[in-house]
């Protein structure tokens, strides 16, 4: 995506954002996680509280008025957006691209065969275990793909991230 002058520059911990976007809560038991377009931070809201707001229940049982107000804002203000979701097919494509462009010979054949098995994700990770250097290379490749996916998503929101994830403490 081409950057343009209308992009807003916002400090964002890209590593944290990638981790949170890749974390799936298939049973929807954990807190809601949303991205604040103004601050670049991830905001957490207890799912029960969000559901209570949706159904207009009595909120006094939830205690902390600040938490209730934050939840209300998250549920009503446009500045908060859901994190993007990574589809299994996209992760499978990352593995295929790695094999195609970053391996050769017996290693390539072993990893291609793993991707054809009944549980390709598990089989692929198990096959990588036998090749520690390739495994390290794959994990770096995968992390960069996920990072680029998040940067592309941010660009679609007209945000140019200023990565704060590698700042030294202090």
- Per-residue pLDDT tens over the stretch 106-133: 999 999 999 999 999 999 999 999 999 9
Question: pLDDT tens digits for 136-160?
Answer: 999 999 999 999 999 999 999 999 9
Cα pseudo-dihedral 148, 131, 93, 159, rounded to 10:
-10
Please answer whether residues 161 and 14 qualify as being in contact, where contact means their C-beta atoms are separated by less than 8 angstroms: yes
Per-state percent for the chain, helix, strand, coil, to nearest 5: 55, 15, 30
Query: Which pLDDT band holds residue 3 (cuts at 50, 70, 90)?
Result: low
What does the buried/exposed string (b/e) look like for 94-129 if buried means 16 or more CB atoms within 10 Å of the residue's CB? bbeebbeeebeeebeebbbebeeeeebeebbeebbe
């Amino acid at each position: 995506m081409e950057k343009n002058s209308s992009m807003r520059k916002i400090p964002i911990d890209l590593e944290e954002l990638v981790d949170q976007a890749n974390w799936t809560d298939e049973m929807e038991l954990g807190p809601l996680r949303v991205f604040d377009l103004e601050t670049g931070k991830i905001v957490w809201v207890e799912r029960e509280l969000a559901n209570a707001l949706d159904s207009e229940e009595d909120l006094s049982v939830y205690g902390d008025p600040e938490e209730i107000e934050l939840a209300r804002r998250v549920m009503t203000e446009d500045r908060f957006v859901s994190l993007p979701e990574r589809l299994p097919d996209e992760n499978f494509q990352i593995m295929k691209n790695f094999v195609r462009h970053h391996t050769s010979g017996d290693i390539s054949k072993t990893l291609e065969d793993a991707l054809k098995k009944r549980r390709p994700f598990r089989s692929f990770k198990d096959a990588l275990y036998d090749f520690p250097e390739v495994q390290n290379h794959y994990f770096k490749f995968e992390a960069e793909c996920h990072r680029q996916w998040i940067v592309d998503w941010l660009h679609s929101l007209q945000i140019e991230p200023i990565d704060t994830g590698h700042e030294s403490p202090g």
